Chains A and B, each alone.
Chain A
Amino acid sequence: MAPVLAAPKPALPPTGDTPGGGGAGERAFSWGVRSAAIAVAAILVGVLAFLTIRGGPSMFAGAGDLPARATSFFQLAGPLAFGSLWVAAIALAFATLPAVGVALAATVYAPSPRFGRFLGAVLDLLAAVPSVVFGLWGLMVLAPLMTPVYGWLHDHLAFLPFFSGEPSVTGRTALTAGMVVGVMILPIMAAICRESFALTPPALMEAATALGATRWEMVRTAVLPTARSGIVAGGMLALGRALGETMAVAMVLSATPFLISFNVISPENPATIAAFIASAFPESAGRQVDALIGLGLVLFAISLLASIAGRRVARKAVAR
């Protein structure tokens, strides 16, 4: 018994082999917690099984069994995967700087803690706006507003592949869709950045200030390097959300299937996986539905990779 007593105590007793010694309440609580954990894993496995069993075989489907008169699954999935990543990348490009800026304003630049809390509440409200509302806003406000800007971009920057070709007259372009999704992922990114900025050791901020740093120099030396992993993790989680965004993109983006294009102001744009599934589903039947499920599997894999990368970076940040 003695060596056991001498061993360092774990922070929490392992749940497996200690009865806990409690009564019925203790057992019920323990059972509830465990079944919740098992349920989460079971749901994930179930979804994966559904996607693989129904969608997997469609990867070898030929013409006739695929939506949009595609001749092979990859002819359909490749451009769609590109479209998803492209729109998500535009969204990240638009959201990153404002997210970092808002998070800085809510932490180190806040004139008072009250202002910081107010800004946090505004971001939470932005996160609470339903996707369909963002879609309507993008379609009816942002798209017409951006049309003249796209004309200007084409007139002056047509030498860049992003702005070559005739610009869209409706404004329902990849750039508009990316901006709408950017606004949608702004709150989650800003929230994660805000948390990692708030974790900056005050001692480091003092060290920089005492060396004669201005506020911005202090942020650059003490805050951003410590929070770098937090910013990347926030970007990855936001990317996951941007990839899955369906409704707003389906409403805003004027999409053409099978298209891979880096032009962001054209009337013809690559479609995204999520928006394509939503719009093609009502017109599909039988094997075509299976192909849509297969597309879901592709999106799931992409999002999973983004999420794993984000978690890995975040864990590194904690370990440091």
Chain B
Amino acid sequence: MTATIPSAAGGAAARVHTSPAADPLDGPLAALAAAPWAAPGGAAAWPATPAPGSISIRAVSCFYGSHLAVADVSLEIPGRAVTAFIGPSGCGKSTLLRSINRMHEFIPGARAHGTIELDGVDLNAKGVDPVAVRSKIGMVFQKPNPFPAMSIRDNVLAGLIIRGERPPRAAADDLVEKSLRRAHLWEEVKDRLKKPGDSLSGGQQQRLCIARAVAVEPHVVLMDEPCSALDPISTLAIEELMRDLARDYTVVVVTHNMAQANRISDVTAFFSLAKAGQPGRLVESGPTADLFTAPQVAATRDYIEGRFG
């Protein structure tokens, strides 16, 4: 098993740095970011200027108790691009994704060894608060999970409400509109922001969750099979959105849908496991176009051609 570190992150970047500050709302939002309530504890650990948000995974192994779920993964995730994790069920791609923003600590007995860096900052170093890590690395889940007791508006502001922050009304309105526009949801919900978050359709709920994730201005958005509970039309909307998000954020998406990975990602990492119960490993990674047309490893070729046994 060889792990090919992508050497062509530049190729990915060429596709994404195309429209800087096209949005007129960038101004107010930048002012928001400078407001004291917009800077959660620990933010000082990261550069204040918009960072490229590149992630470096080095020799990471994930355990559930004594069970080794993911073995020795090293992978460079380029900033402001879409990276897709693909592979069969149980290969540990979701586990690895969760260890990036330390959500695996939610599961009793789960732990990760190795180094994960965001823009050179070791996320697991002593003194780094997982809460601060999660406010820099947002997450969108398989099943849309808006807060049912909150309105659509409050769901977008949830990241601030959670921390007990009360931004000025006008600033909050701007943030709500900006985030919903980013999530391609504004036009559909602008007249019913007071309605409960779970009154939307599944696809709209998922975009609301994306708006909620980007409202806290993370550097990275992790997506754990974000379309697997959605119909094809909603899926298409989310796919377009993911491409769009990569202009401002690093997007890492776990997907079972090979065609989707091919459509939306700049870099693809293929994970697999020898057999059930064995740890998942990174088989191959590289620019998506290369990986899908000229895979270096036989297992990758078999999998993307649907011949995986």
Are A and B genuine complex partners?
A: yes
Give chain B nearest CB distance to A213 CB in angstroms. Answer: 5
Within residues 160 to 175 of chain B, which ones have a CB less than 8 A from any CB in chain A? 161-164
Give chain B nearest CB distance to A206 CB in angstroms. Answer: 6
Query: Is A201 an interface position by the 8 A CB rule?
Result: yes
**Residues on B with beta carbons closer than 8 Å to the beta carbon of A221:** 147, 158, 161-162
Contact A207 B141 (CB under 8 A): yes
Give chain B nearest CB distance to A282 CB in angstroms. Answer: 53
A214 and B149 CA atoms in complex are apart in Å by 19
A31 and B138 CA atoms in complex are apart in Å by 59
**Residues on A with beta carbons closer than 8 Å to the beta carbon of B143:** 203
Query: Is A293 an interface position by the 8 A CB rule?
Result: no
Contact A207 B138 (CB under 8 A): no
- Contact A225-B101, Cβ < 8 Å, known A212-B135, A212-B163: no
A226 and B213 CA atoms in complex are apart in Å by 21
**Residues on B with beta carbons closer than 8 Å to the beta carbon of A213:** 131, 134, 162-163
Partner of A207, one of B40, B108, B147: B147
- Contact A212-B149, Cβ < 8 Å, known A203-B141, A203-B143, A206-B141: no
Among residues of B, the one whose C-beta sits closest to the C-beta of A225 is B149
A230 and B158 CA atoms in complex are apart in Å by 23
**Residues on A with beta carbons closer than 8 Å to the beta carbon of B108:** 112-113
**Residues on A with beta carbons closer than 8 Å to the beta carbon of B158:** 207-208, 211, 221
Contact A210 B134 (CB under 8 A): yes
Query: Is B103 an interface position by the 8 A CB rule?
Result: yes
Query: Is B295 an interface position by the 8 A CB rule?
Result: no
Task: Name the residue among B141, B143, B145, B161 with the largest chain A CB count within 10 angstroms.
Answer: B145
Residue interface bits A208-238, CB-to-B below 8 A is 1, else 0 = 1111111001101110011000000000000
Q: When A and B form their complex, what is the total count of cross-chain residue pairs whose Cβ atoms lie within 8 Å?
A: 74
Number of interface residues of A (CB under 8 A): 23
- Contact A210-B101, Cβ < 8 Å, known A221-B158, A221-B162: yes
Query: Is A204 an interface position by the 8 A CB rule?
Result: yes
Contact A222 B147 (CB under 8 A): yes
A25 and B267 CA atoms in complex are apart in Å by 68
Contact B141 A211 (CB under 8 A): no
A6 and B294 CA atoms in complex are apart in Å by 55
Query: Is B90 an interface position by the 8 A CB rule?
Result: no
A113 and B109 CA atoms in complex are apart in Å by 11
**Residues on B with beta carbons closer than 8 Å to the beta carbon of A209:** 103, 106, 134
A315 and B71 CA atoms in complex are apart in Å by 48
Within residues 174 to 217 of chain A, which ones have a CB less than 8 A from any CB in chain B? 201, 203-214, 217
Task: Name the residue among A207, A208, A209, A225 with the largest chain B CB count within 10 angstroms.
Answer: A207
Contact A203 B134 (CB under 8 A): no
Give chain A nearest CB distance to B200 CB in angstroms. Answer: 15
Task: Name the residue among B108, B147, B150 with the largest chain A CB count within 10 angstroms.
Answer: B147
10 contacts between A and B (CB under 8 A): A204-B147, A209-B134, A210-B213, A211-B216, A212-B134, A212-B135, A222-B147, A225-B147, A226-B149, A320-B148
Residues of A bordering B, CB below 8 Å: 112-113, 201, 203-214, 217-218, 220-222, 225-226, 320
- 7 other contacts beyond A205-B106, A213-B163, A225-B150, with CB at 8 A cut-off? A207-B158, A209-B103, A210-B103, A210-B138, A210-B141, A212-B163, A218-B162
Closest 10 CB pairs of A and B: A212-B135, A210-B139, A203-B145, A225-B149, A211-B159, A212-B134, A207-B145, A213-B162, A217-B162, A221-B162
